[in-house]
Amino acid sequence: MKISWTWFHKLGTPKWFYAISGRMLPWLAGAAVLLLLVGITWGLAFAPQDYQQGNSFRIIYIHVPAAMLAQSCYVLLAVAGVVGLVWKMKLADVALQCAAPIGAWMTAVALVTGAIWGKPTWGSWWVWDARLTSMLILLFLYFGIIALGQAISNRDSAAKACAVLAIVGVVNIPIIKYSVEWWNTLHQGATFTLTEKPAMPAEMWLPLLCTALGFYCFFGAVLLLRMRLEVLKREARASWVRDEVLNSLGRRAAQ
């Protein structure tokens, strides 16, 4: 337990985070490219047609991973908010501010692809379905966090305000997840669950799994990249940042 807490506190140190994230970034980026290439190609070109929806179902390989990631990202925001408020960890706010735009984009992708999928399936681009409405609220929550962080000039006050909004807004996540069970909705149930075997055949859900993992690796890579840039910006006057920049310039000159 002592080792875990030591590692946790080290991770909250900007210098240590910058070093460890630099080693993780190439692996995450490579995994994202490989998984997305395999999953999307497999799903769009080689997976069999759905017996009811035909080829229109193939948008699932973009829609479902984006929707999953949009919700997971917001949970990350809430966790970062708690860590920032309770342990006063600097990197918690960095993670929150850097992850929010990515989550907003994923939510927008989920909504747009859902609308495209809904047109041939439901006969309409949009219905005020419980799942769709709660996803739209999620997008507004992301926008609210981004706007709040930019509107408040004092960094500490902005961090606290964004953390509170992220924590309060996390109540929307179980509403999104269980809306199809709590209310009579047009939206289908969960594609993946931890307790049940997927309803679709393996040649359809395996590429979906690859794509979902690729989306998460992509998120991890982009988040680390954004956080590294933000850390350099916030710690610009620190001696380790100056040393890092000089070392980087030295390596480029040597090449």
Task: Report yes or no on 120 lying in a domain.
Answer: yes
Which structural domain range is residue 139 located in?
25-189+205-244
- Does the residue 169 lie in any domain? yes
In a domain, 136, yes or no: yes
The reply to whether 53 falls in a domain is yes
| DSSP letter (8 states) at residue 193 | -
Report the domain count for the chain. 1
Question: Residue 198 domain-assigned?
Answer: no
| Vertex 51: Cα angle to 49 and 54 (nearest 5) | 50
Contact in structure between 72 and 177 (CB atoms under 8 Å): no
Q: What is the pLDDT of residues 17-72, one digit of tens each?
A: 999 999 999 999 999 999 999 999 999 999 998 888 888 889 999 999 999 999 99
Give the best-scoring range by mean pLDDT among 12-16, 163-167, 174-178, 246-250: 163-167
Residue 114 lies in a domain: yes
Output phi, psi for 54, to 5 deg: 65, -140
Give the amino acid at 133. T
**Residue 200 belongs to a domain:** no
State how far the Cα of 244 lies from the Cα of 69, in Å rounded to an integer.
32
Q: What is the pLDDT of residue 122?
A: 80
Specify if 49 maps to a domain. Answer: yes
Name which residue leads in pLDDT, 230 or 54: 230
Buried b (16+ CB within 10 A) or exposed e, 138-176: bbebbebbbebbeeeeeeeebbbbbbebbbebbebbebb
